[in-house]
């Protein structure tokens, strides 16, 4: 009954912590999406849909942190209310106390696995599709005749006129990405094509001239009859293209059509190991929350914060180690959650060794103990 009671007490603060952390983590994306409504006139419904598609990504990060906060807050409260002392008096050892916490961490891990393995890739794929759909609808608004356009990264575009079927006339393009050279293209005609697979925009120019210059003063021109100019699609929310994140887990395992073995293994191991932090955090946070009521709770919260920081430093370092390495190197991503979990088990064992059973506890709390002690 005591274990069940502890488990049930973990659920409400976990839901609250997950909501608050997810809200905080999504603020930057919310700001960028609100900017779409204001600056580009994107419908509110589309923006809310894009935010919904990004929600699994936020949850995969916030769930492990919410586990730490929940376990520490609940255990600190139980310690301050002397409920842990009462549980110890009833015969509940640290290992027995760890059972409901471990079950809670395991359930959070399973939930996070469902998010990273299925919901997150599906959300990314849907997000990319919605972005492309908006890109189609926004292209006509992005390129306006008689106005310098800076929406395409590294390019400045100007057109004199545009027909209803997206045919352009009097085209001026300045490429600001060429270093140390520069290029200006002038063309009498052109047409925009949106390529779905590449998620970019192709501008087909006809009857024009390219002007090349460099810092040494060199200058040359090149006439052309037809030329295709590739524009990176303007990122509607400022994010980079992350196509591998939108690949389903089954396709990631079975197909190497678009990605190499190293990329697929790294992404697959990331999807597996990120949720494992939930179980490791639950075990490690258990002993952090078992505090002496006379010493306050601030030290426990600082230790919880340090635990989160240390884990994510190790996690980031392990991610860097896998970049550009052999596919088998992706197993290093398992090191951070395993280390945190083992440290938690070690701390529970230390507490168990120092734990005194109910008879010793009752003896220490007898009201007449001091009277019967000859030393007092």
pLDDT tens readout for residues 331-364:
888 999 999 999 999 888 887 766 544 434 444 5
Cα 170 → chain centroid: 44
Sheet with 167-175, edge to edge strand ranges: 155-162, 167-175, 182-195, 200-213, 219-232
Model pLDDT, residue 38: 76
Of 14-18, 75-79, 165-169, 302-306, give the lowest mean pLDDT range: 165-169
Q: How many other CB atoms are found less than 10 A from the CB of residue 129?
A: 13
Instruction: Give the whole-angstrom CA distance, residue 187 versus residue 204.
Output: 10
For residues 311-325, give the mean pLDDT.
85
By the 8 A CB rule, do 157 and 142 touch?
no
pLDDT tens, 22-52?
999 989 888 888 877 776 677 888 888 888 9
pLDDT tens, 82-137?
777 777 666 677 788 888 999 999 999 999 999 999 999 999 888 877 877 776 66
Percent pLDDT > 70 in the chain is 75
Q: What is the pTM of this model?
A: 0.72
Give the confidence band of 80 by pLDDT, cuts at 50, 70, 90.
confident
Could you give the C-alpha distances from 104 to 68, 91, 192, 279, 313, in angstroms and in order?
11, 21, 54, 8, 25
Burial label, 193 (beta-carbon count in 10 A; 0-12, 13-18, 19+): exposed
Which stretches of the chain are DSSP H helices? 2-25, 27-35, 44-80, 83-89, 94-114, 120-142, 249-254, 261-289, 298-321, 335-354, 358-364, 369-372
Exposure of 339 in the CB half-sphere (CA atoms within 13 A): 14
């Amino acid at each position: 009954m005591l274990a069940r009671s502890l488990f049930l007490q973990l659920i409400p603060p976990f839901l609250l912590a997950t909501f608050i952390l997810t809200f905080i983590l999504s603020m930057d994306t919310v700001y960028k999406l609100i900017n779409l409504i204001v600056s580009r006139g994107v419908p509110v419904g589309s923006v809310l849909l894009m935010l919904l598609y990004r929600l699994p990504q936020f949850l995969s990060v916030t769930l492990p942190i919410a586990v730490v906060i929940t376990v520490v807050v609940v255990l600190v409260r139980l310690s301050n209310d002397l409920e842990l002392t009462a549980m110890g008096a009833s015969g509940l050892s640290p290992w027995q106390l760890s059972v409901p916490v471990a079950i809670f961490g395991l359930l959070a891990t399973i939930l996070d696995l469902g998010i990273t393995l299925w919901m997150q890739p599906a959300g990314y794929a849907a997000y990319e599709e919605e972005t492309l759909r908006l890109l189609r609808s926004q292209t006509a608004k992005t390129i306006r005749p008689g106005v310098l356009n800076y929406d395409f990264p590294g390019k400045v575009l100007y057109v004199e006129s545009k027909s209803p079927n997206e045919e352009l006339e009097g085209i001026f393009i300045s490429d600001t990405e060429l270093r140390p050279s520069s290029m200006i293209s002038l063309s009498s005609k052109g047409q925009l094509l949106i390529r779905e697979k590449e998620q970019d925009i192709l501008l087909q120019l006809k009857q024009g001239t390219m002007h090349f210059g460099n810092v040494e003063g060199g200058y040359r021109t090149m006439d052309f009859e037809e030329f295709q100019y590739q524009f990176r699609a303007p990122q509607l929310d400022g994010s980079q293209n992350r196509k591998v994140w939108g690949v389903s887990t089954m396709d990631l395992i079975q197909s190497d059509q678009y990605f190499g073995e190293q990329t697929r293994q790294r992404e697959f191991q990331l999807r597996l190991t990120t949720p494992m932090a939930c179980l490791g955090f639950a075990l490690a946070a258990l002993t952090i929350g078992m505090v002496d009521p006379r010493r306050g709770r601030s030290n426990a919260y600082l230790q919880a914060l340090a635990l989160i920081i240390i884990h994510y430093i190790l996690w980031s370092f392990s991610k860097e180690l896998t970049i550009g390495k052999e596919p088998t190197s992706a197993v290093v991503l398992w090191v951070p959650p395993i280390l945190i979990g083992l440290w938690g088990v070690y701390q529970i064992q230390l507490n168990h060794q120092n734990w005194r059973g109910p008879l010793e506890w009752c003896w220490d709390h007898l009201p007449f103990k001091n009277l019967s002690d000859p030393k007092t």
